[in-house]
Amino acid sequence: MSSPEIASLSWGQMKVKGCSTTYKDCKVWPGGSRTWDWRETGTNHSPGVQPADLEEVVQKGVQTLVIGRGMSEALQVPPSTVDYLKKKGIDVLVLQTEKAVEEYNALAAQGVQVGGVFHSTC
């Protein structure tokens, strides 16, 4: 199963190819996507992305996980979150969201089992 292409990104809006939903923040993985609702794990810009935010994507068997920190990189990613992924043998890229989407799409196009969590505003 391949990772879906992110078809478009603008401030506060993301579209995933093959999905009719417009996301503000989203999670993507091989074969699917859904809204990333920060309230599920109590996520805020600081301390930022927690392992609990990533667990669902990790369980989909990704080789690489791309984290989009927002258009102005306001969303933090603590070292403990990066360590969590590395201990599971998952490559991780933490980037500004536009760059993160570019990298994610490039990896998906190469057939990499890539997942991502993307913040589309600040």
Q: At what angle do helices 51-58 and 79-87 cross, to 10 degrees?
A: 30
User: Could you tell me the residue ranges of all domains in the chain?
Assistant: 6-118
Q: State pTM to two decimals.
A: 0.97
What is the CATH topology of the domain spanning 6-118? Hypothetical Protein Mth938; Chain: A, (3.40.1230)
Among the listed residues 113, 45, 32, 122, the one whose alpha carbon sits nearest the alpha carbon of residue 76: 45
Predicted confidence (pLDDT) per residue in 30-52, tens digit = 999 999 999 999 999 999 999 99
Dihedral pair phi/psi, residue 15, rounded to 5°: -120, 135
Low-confidence ranges of the chain (pLDDT < 70): none
DSSP 8-state symbol, 38: G
